[in-house]
Amino acid sequence: MAGGQPSDRRPEASRRTGTLFRWHAAAVHTSALVRHTESVSEAQRWWPGRRLGLGLLLAVVSASCGSTTPGSTGHVHGPGNGAHQSSPTSTDLPLALPAPAKTSVGDRGAVTSTTVNERPGARGPGSPTTNPGPPTCPQLTTAQLVGQRLIFSFTGTAAPSDLVRRIELGQAAGVILFSSNFTSTAELRQLTGMLQALPRPAALHAPLLIMTDQEGGEVTRIPEPLLRSASDTATGQDALQLGEQAGATLAGGGVNMDLAPVLDVARPGSFLAAQQRTYGSSAEAVGRLGESFAAGLARTGVIATPKHFPGLGSAVVSTDYAPVHLGLSRTTLAHVDEAPFAAAISAGAPGLMLATAVYPALDPALPAALSPAVATTELRGRLGFQGVSISDDLDAPALSAYGGPGQRALLATLAGTDLLLFASSYSSGAQAEDYLIPLAGMGRIPNAGLCASAGRILTLRSQITVP
């Protein structure tokens, strides 16, 4: 998440996230893993490297699906704690929402630029996305299709009974955990083991996504062993070791996704630079060191999730505390801020986190995670990302002008963001899911988008190995 705090649970509506992935076995065990390289082309050894087309992704998923008729909503349990958000009517869509008060950051600061070398066949701005053909939709109920997008959080060391019921119904993709959810690694391992052992529908037997932020330095959810910060990571070997240490700690606790590395290119005076969470002010160095960190995670079987696309390195305040507008030009975004993400995408990054800041050069009204122009046109269309996207915390104050949890979740869903992260309270995630299900049942959320996201998410989950 944007403003990861040393104390891992911020006040209500101001906390952060994390992710892990089961890498390609051949990539994990090949002799190439023993040696480290600094180049982007070599970095492809460390990322999963799969470039499955959408049709194949969904075919893999639907092969294991049951025969439930798509479109039926199934049984839905209400939120277990917190006020219930009323279900929407067929016309209850947030088509026009007020622009938030903004913290404006201009196109400033000394930054080393790098050219984005898009892979052969990559699309330029405005080019249409290649259509792989009509996919086969996973044969899930509407409630389950919606549920595959939800990442829940909760307080305390035990999962709420309502969350347990949602998981058992196949209405959750996973959870995000913070250090307040456990008192020891053994307790963390017991909690994650219990969650993975919950019975689920046959079509949804794949392991749950269990994530946290284990960046190193100030943002370390499992404090032992002490990890160096990104800004103290000078070489690729340092970053590789940091990733290995972080991954080993997470895997040991049953966490399979790390919301890291931070691929934001820092500017002087930015909050990320002050927190020592970035790999520097050079787009090339940030991309290279971030790839090495991901390589270390890969050795431990943990999924890396680069963040915060399209780049939060010029923000002077975190989106966890206030709305942020970044007045960067399209050219600066493409050649500086997005460059590390472009490198990660070319190397096969399985996941990626979208920021909740507004980028007027791309979309003057909507934050990145809620914007079709960013989440679909820029990320998937121009850069060719084929993995699973996840929002930054949809409970964050940066989104206070965009309605309640349900409306924010709807905007993110319509934008094409795959996973909807609610990192501040369980009730917000539950409200969001209960808001989306009837809309999906009425056809107000395109079924093709639900199918595509479910396919990507379940394919990712199927790569996870639970000890």
Domain spans of the chain, in order of start? 25-71+100-117+134-462
Can you give the pLDDT at residue 36? 35
- Specify the DSSP class assigned to residue 262: B
In this structure, what are the phi and psi dihedrals at residue 101, rounded to the nearest 5 degrees? -60, 140
* Greatest Cα pair distance in the chain: 57
Region 329-347: mean pLDDT is: 97
Can you give the pLDDT at residue 373? 99
In this structure, what are the phi and psi dihedrals at residue 257, rounded to the nearest 5 degrees? -145, 130
Instruction: Give domain 25-71+100-117+134-462's CATH superfamily.
Output: Glycoside hydrolase, family 3, N-terminal domain (3.20.20.300)
Region 184-209: mean pLDDT is: 96
Distance CA 291, CA 46 (A): 7
pLDDT band at residue 232 using 50, 70 and 90 as cut-offs: low
Can you give the pLDDT at residue 432? 99
pLDDT band at residue 51 using 50, 70 and 90 as cut-offs: very low
Q: Which of 114-118, 168-172, 394-398 shows the lowest per-residue confidence on average (mean pLDDT)? A: 114-118
Q: pLDDT tens digits, residue range 58-87?
A: 333 343 333 333 333 443 333 333 333 445
pLDDT band at residue 131 using 50, 70 and 90 as cut-offs: very low
Q: pLDDT tens digits, residue range 158-170?
A: 999 999 999 999 9
Can you give the pLDDT at residue 4? 60
3-state secondary structure 270-296: CHHHHCCCCCCCEHHHHHHHHHHHHHH
| Interacting residues of 31 by C-beta distance below 8 A, sequence separation 6+ | none
Per the CB < 8 A criterion, the answer to whether 382 and 360 are in contact is no
Q: pLDDT tens digits, residue range 298-335?
A: 899 999 999 999 999 999 999 999 999 999 999 999 99
Nearest-Å Rg of the Cα atoms of the chain is: 20
Distance CA 35, CA 287 (A): 18
Can you give the pLDDT at residue 311? 97
User: How do beta strands 420-421 and 388-391 pair?
Assistant: unpaired
Give yes or no for residue 114 having a pLDDT over 90.
Answer: no
Dihedral of alpha carbons 245, 251, 252, 254, sign:
positive
- Measured CA to CA in angstroms, residue 229 lies from 56, 223, 241, 276 at distances of 39, 13, 12, 6
